[in-house]
Structure 1
Amino acid sequence: MTDILTLVFRAFSPQTGQKKDPRAGAPSPAPLSSSSTALLVGEHRLSRSVLLLAAVTAASELGVRVAFFAQSQIQSLPVCLQRGSASLSPEGLKKITFSYPRTLEQLLHQVASLHESPSPPSLIIVDRLDGFLREPVAGSHAGFHSGPESSAAHLSALLCDTAAFLSRALEQRGSSSAPCRVIASFLSDVDSGQEGRDPSATDPILDVLDRYFQARCTLDQDRSYEAVAAAAQEVWHIYVSGTKDCEEGPALAQEWKLFSFPDGLMEFILV
């Protein structure tokens, strides 16, 4: 999964300019046994922008179908996408299906129904897992889950199983867009700025998610003088970590800087 995120970071890096072809010099899609699932951990507004960049890049540049799930409706795309006319081609955007389940039960049902699609997606994106997992569970799943950790395990397992099933279906069709990948975002209680929180505490829900998502991209804001001097509105570190299932594959370890400017443009720089 980190291959698509890498395409996004390279596409919006100053070395390539704002929105040039991200495939130039980019790695080929990783096999399913490597990091096919990734979790973005950090501030909601920024993580949603990265998810949208990933969706549009996958659909327009790689030509794959994308299923994008979010609780709240997306009102607009990031400015850096709006200025990239090639990425916003109608044919590319038609490959993205936006769905807005309001509850965990609705999300579970819609993910479980993806295999019924005549054109299965090669990328599943879920915005703000925490919004689904921290709400009371109602309906037919109310008695099944004992708490948010159980809900996190159930949803994560379903996402991984669905991606594996769709990957096999795409491969059987001879599709070049296999395997199916998953990216989701999550804001930990520990990082949400709630008062009275122990800064050394860990989030039990995040601990569960880490068992299923093979790579994590942690967003950490840089408030140093150097960041202020860069003339950016905000500067963020993106720490990519995780392990590959392949014995010969190295552990994932990478750091990028994200510069968010007052005019809405974004730049990624490999550290």
Structure 2
Amino acid sequence: MADILTLVFKTFMSQTVLKKDLTVSPPPTTTYSSLVVGDHSVSRSVLLLAAVTAASQRGMKVMFFTQTQIQSLPASLQKCVPNLSPQSLKTVEELLQQMASLHESINTSPTPPSLIIVDRLEGFLCGPRDCSHSGVHPGEQSSIAHLSALLFDTAAFLTQVLEQRSSSLGPCRIIASFQSEVDTGQGGGEPYATDPILDSLVRYFQVRCTLEQDRGYEAVAAGLQQVWHIYLSGRGITEVSCTKDCEDRAGVGQEWQLLIFPNGLMEFKLV
């Protein structure tokens, strides 16, 4: 969700620039999903930062789904939480089975999860893509619809449970990452705009967080390992922006930069 992502950006904001007053306004209750699109190594780091930040600062119970074992943590997390290790993070590898079983286990769980994170959503869809195919295969479309429906039905169910228990942690949020196999190399925050799988997938998510690497000379000259542009877009951002005047819209933080230093530390900067 955009509010959790913005909380991450603020928490790990660059100390070399003057921080602006970024009050994260609560989005409408119907806006509770974000899709992080881009390089899987960077997007996984963002997801891990989101998981730990939400748990430590918002007291959320987080479920982190991944198909591959987490070998290491971002250096920024190791610095802030030195005792945290990959082994201490409880991850789930079987997404569909675990999501379906949440409805059954919720009666025995004292605290339902209020944030569901899915690492590399493409791995839970169909097999290797045929990039020569211009559309979406029926099997791929069915997988997208099935998985999306399962995610959002579960989130809606958990939101209802959280509200019934008078919890302040609702609604249940969803953050997922997706790496496209189609990279058109376009700029302006839309490097994957022609991927039919992504075009179908983003219809289900309220907010899209697009990662685009800056390969310019300035990044090298500044002694940075990598610089990434982060663009927040989608109807969830639009709904929040429309409730504010023009002076307040910058506070939504629709464009950021991610600075990755040679020592692995990550910092965010509002553009």
* Aligned pairs for 1:188-227 within 5 A: 188-191=180-183, 202-227=194-219
- The TM-score, its normalising length taken from structure 2, stands at 0.80
The residue type paired with residue 12 of structure 1 is: F
What stretches of structure 1 of length at least 5 have no aligned partner? 18-23, 102-106, 137-144, 194-198
Give the 3 Å change call, closer, same or farther, for CA 236–131 of structure 1 in structure 2: same
- Alpha carbons 1:170, 1:177 under 8 Å: kept: yes
CA gap of 1:200–1:83, structure 2 versus 1, over 3 A, is closer
1:81 corresponds, among 59, 77, 80, to: 77
Distance 1:246 1:201 in 2: 22
Query: Alpha-carbon deviation of 1:249?
Result: 4.0
1:201–1:85: structure 2 CA closer, same or farther, 3 Å change rule?
A: closer
Describe the shift of the 1:226–1:156 C-alpha distance in structure 2 as closer, same or farther (beyond 3 A): same
Give the one of 174, 177, 189 matched to 1:182.
174
* 1:257 matched to 2:257: yes
- Structure 2 counterpart SS, 1:83: helix
Q: Deviations over 1:175-197 (max 9, x none)?
A: 1111100000001111399xxxx
- 1:114 maps to 102
Separation of aligned partners in 2, 1:4 and 1:219: 16
Q: Deviations over 1:224-255 (max 9, x none)?
A: 11222221100000111011385954797711
Aligned to 1:63: 59
**Superposition CA RMSD, Å:** 2.8
Q: Is this contact kept in 2: 1:170–1:179, CA < 8 A?
A: yes
Change (3 A) 1:25 1:148: same
Deviations for 1:81-103, whole angstroms, at most 9, x for unmatched residues?
011038x679xx97x641112xx
Which digits, 9 at most, give the CA deviation of each residue in 1:97-117, with x for residues without a partner?
41112xxxxx21211222323
Of 101, 113, 116, which residue of structure 2 is paired with 1:124? 116
Aligned partner of 1:150 among 142, 157, 161 = 142
Cα distance in structure 1, aligned partners of 2:214 and 2:71: 27
Whole-angstrom CA distance in 2 between matches of 1:236 and 1:157: 31
Number of corresponding residues: 242
Aligned to 1:33: 30
Q: TM-score, normalising length from structure 1? A: 0.80
Q: Give the secondary-structure state (helix, strand or coil) at the position aligned to 2:202.
A: helix
Given the superposition, is the C-alpha separation of residues 14 and 76 from structure 1 closer, same or farther in structure 2, using an over 3 Å criterion? Answer: same
Asked whether the equivalents of residues 42 and 220 of structure 1 are also in contact (C-alpha less than 8 Å), the reply is: yes
Which residue number in structure 2 is paired with residue 139 of structure 1?
A: none
- Paired residue secondary structure (1:226): helix
Sequence identity (%): 61
Verify the 8 A CA contact 1:9 1:268 in the aligned structure 2: yes
Distance 1:121 1:29, change over 3 A: farther
Change (3 A) 1:13 1:229: same
- 5+ residue gaps, structure 2, are 129-136, 186-190
